[in-house]
C-alpha cells in the first residue's frame, strides 16, 4: 500500500476560496456571486480584491442562478457560491432551464455538502445533490477530495466552457494530494495499484478509502484505490481497466446510495463488465446533528465500513 503524507488538515471550501482568489487575478472574465454566505464559502478574498466583479445577491438563490445564467451572455464566467442544498434542490428548475438546457457557462460552487456539515443537521446536509446534478444533460459534476484538489478543480473549471457543479465541504480533512496539481476534468486518479478489489471513492471518502486500504493490506487484501473526482463525465476506461483486473468493486461516497457515484459505476459495469459491487453510501435516510466523524460512523461511511464492504465484495467473486 502506497504511503500518503498528510500535509495538513484543511477544509475543501478554503481550497475553493483560494482557487477563486487566484482566478480573480488571472482571468478578468471570472465573476463571483454569493447568496449571503461569503464567509462560509471563503469568497472574501475575491470580494476584497475584485469588488466590481463580486455580486452579493442576498438570500435569493433562484435569482442568483438566473443572474449567473444571464451574465454569461457577453462573455463572463460566473461562479455562484452557496451551500450545496441551496445550490441544487432549492433551485433545480432554474438550473435546469436557464443553465443546463440553455448551455450557459456557469460554475455552481457548492459548500457544506453531505453529512460532514455536522451540527446544523439534516435540513442542510444534502445527500441527493450529486444525483440531481448528474441527471441534467450538459452538466459536469465534480467532487474533489481535499484542499489542494479543490483549489485545482476550481481553477480548471474556469477553462472549461459549459455548466459545472463543483461540490465541496465544511470540515477540515486530510490534505494529501500534491500542491499545484494539474486537474483534468473527467480523468480518474489512481491512488494505489492493487489486484484484489477496486475501491472507487469520491470527495471526503477518498481519504477514508486510503485508510481502509491500509487496514485491508494488513489483512492480506491488496486494494486498488481510485479517486473519482469527476462523477460526470465518468472515467469509464479507468474503472473498467481496474475492474477487469480485480473482478470486484466498492464505491464510497458521502451521498445517498440512490443516484450517486455508486449508481454511475454500477451502470458502467452492467453495460460493459458485470461484477460484484458493494456500496458505501447513505442508505435512503436523512442525516442528523452531530460531529462530522460521529455522523460518518453512524451512517456507515467510515474506513471500517469500506473495509467491510471490500471484504464482502472480495468474497462474492
Partner 1 sequence: MANITQLEKTASQVRRDIVRMVHAVQSGHPGGSLGCADFFIALYFEVMNHNSSNFNMDGNGEDLFFLSNGHISPVWYSTLAHSGYFDKSELATFRKLNSRLQGHPATEEGLPGIRMASGSLGQGLSVAAGAALTKKLNGDKSLVYTLHGDGELQEGQIWEAAIYAAHKKIDNLISTIDFNNRQIDGDVSDVMSLGNLRQKWEAFGWEVLEMDGHNMQNIVDTMSLAKSKTRQGKPIMILMKTEMGQGVDFMMGSHKWHGIPPSDEQLANALGQLEETLGDY
Catalytic residue numbers read 61
Under rule CB under 8 A, residue 55 binds partner 1: yes
Under rule CB under 8 A, residue 78 binds partner 1: yes
Q: Which helix (H) or strand (E) holds 9?
A: strand 8-11
Under rule CB under 8 A, residue 60 binds partner 1: yes
How far is 259 from 223, CA to CA, in rounded Å? 25
How far is 242 from 244, CA to CA, in rounded Å? 5
Under rule CB under 8 A, residue 57 binds partner 1: yes
Nearer to partner 1, 96 or 311 (CB): 96
Distance (Å) of CA 275 to CA 175, 191, 198, 212: 32, 21, 11, 21
Burial group, residue 132, by CB count within 10 angstroms (0-12, 13-18, 19+): buried
Under rule CB under 8 A, residue 54 binds partner 1: no
Under rule CB under 8 A, residue 17 binds partner 1: no
Nearer to partner 1, 52 or 284 (CB): 52
Nearer to partner 1, 64 or 249 (CB): 64
Nearer to partner 1, 43 or 281 (CB): 43
Q: Which helix (H) or strand (E) holds 47?
A: helix 44-49
The DSSP call for residue 199 is: E
Burial group, residue 160, by CB count within 10 angstroms (0-12, 13-18, 19+): middle
Under rule CB under 8 A, residue 70 binds partner 1: yes
CB of 99 to partner 1, least distance (A): 10
Nearer to partner 1, 161 or 317 (CB): 161
Task: Identify whether the C-beta of residue 104 lies closer than 8 Å to the C-beta of residue 72.
Answer: yes
Applying CB under 8 A, which of residues 31, 115, 201, 216 lies at the interface with partner 1?
A: 31
Nearer to partner 1, 44 or 63 (CB): 63
Q: Which stretch binds partner 1 (CB under 8 A): 13-21, 48-56, 187-195, 264-272?
A: 48-56
Under rule CB under 8 A, residue 83 binds partner 1: no
CA angle 132, 241, 167 (to 5 degrees): 25
The DSSP call for residue 76 is: -
Applying CB under 8 A, which of residues 71, 158, 205, 239 lies at the interface with partner 1?
A: 71
Under rule CB under 8 A, residue 68 binds partner 1: yes
- The SS3 of residue 104 is coil
Residue 27 phi, psi (nearest 5): -130, 105
Between residue 85 and residue 144, which ones bind partner 1 under the rule CB under 8 A? 93-94, 96-98, 101-104
How far is 76 from 23, CA to CA, in rounded Å? 13
Applying CB under 8 A, which of residues 20, 23, 32, 69 lies at the interface with partner 1?
A: 69
Interface residues with partner 1 (CB under 8 A)?
A: 31, 52-53, 55, 57-58, 60, 62-76, 78, 93-94, 96-98, 101-104
Amino acid at each position: 500500500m502506497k504511503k500518503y503524507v498528510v500535509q495538513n488538515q484543511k477544509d475543501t471550501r478554503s481550497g475553493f476560496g483560494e482557487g477563486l482568489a487566484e482566478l480573480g487575478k488571472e482571468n478578468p472574465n471570472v465573476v463571483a456571486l454569493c447568496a449571503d454566505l461569503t464567509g462560509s464559502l471563503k469568497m472574501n478574498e475575491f470580494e476584497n480584491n475584485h469588488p466590481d466583479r463580486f455580486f452579493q445577491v442576498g438570500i435569493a438563490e433562484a435569482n442568483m442562478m438566473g443572474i449567473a445564467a444571464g451574465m454569461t451572455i457577453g462573455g463572463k464566467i460566473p461562479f455562484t457560491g452557496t451551500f450545496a442544498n441551496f445550490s441544487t434542490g432549492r433551485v433545480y428548475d432554474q438550473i435546469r432551464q436557464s443553465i443546463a438546457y440553455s448551455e450557459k457557462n456557469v460554475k455552481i460552487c457548492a459548500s457544506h455538502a453531505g453529512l460532514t456539515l455536522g451540527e446544523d443537521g439534516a435540513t442542510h446536509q444534502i445527500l441527493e445533490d450529486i444525483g440531481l446534478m448528474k441527471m441534467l444533460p450538459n452538466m459536469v459534476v465534480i467532487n474533489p477530495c481535499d484542499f489542494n484538489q479543490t483549489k485545482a478543480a476550481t481553477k480548471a473549471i474556469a477553462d472549461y466552457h459549459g455548466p459545472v457543479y463543483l461540490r465541496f465541504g465544511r470540515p477540515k480533512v486530510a490534505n494529501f494530494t500534491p500542491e499545484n496539481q494539474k486537474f483534468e476534468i473527467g480523468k480518474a486518479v489512481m491512488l494505489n495499484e492493487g489486484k484484489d478489489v477496486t475501491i472507487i471513492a469520491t470527495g471526503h471518502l477518498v481519504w477514508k478509502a486510503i485508510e481502509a486500504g491500509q487496514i485491508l493490506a494488513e489483512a492480506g487484501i491488496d486494494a486498488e484505490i481510485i479517486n473519482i473526482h469527476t462523477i460526470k463525465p465518468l472515467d469509464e476506461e479507468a474503472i473498467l481497466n481496474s475492474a477487469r483486473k480485480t473482478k470486484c468493486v466498492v464505491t464510497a461516497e458521502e451521498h445517498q446510495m440512490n443516484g450517486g457515484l455508486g449508481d454511475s459505476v454500477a451502470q458502467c459495469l452492467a453495460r460493459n463488465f458485470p461484477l460484484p459491487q458493494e456500496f458505501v453510501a447513505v442508505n435512503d435516510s436523512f442525516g442528523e446533528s452531530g460531529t462530522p466523524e460521529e455522523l460518518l460512523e453512524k451512517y456507515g461511511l467510515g474506513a471500517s465500513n469500506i473495509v467491510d464492504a471490500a471484504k464482502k465484495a472480495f468474497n462474492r467473486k
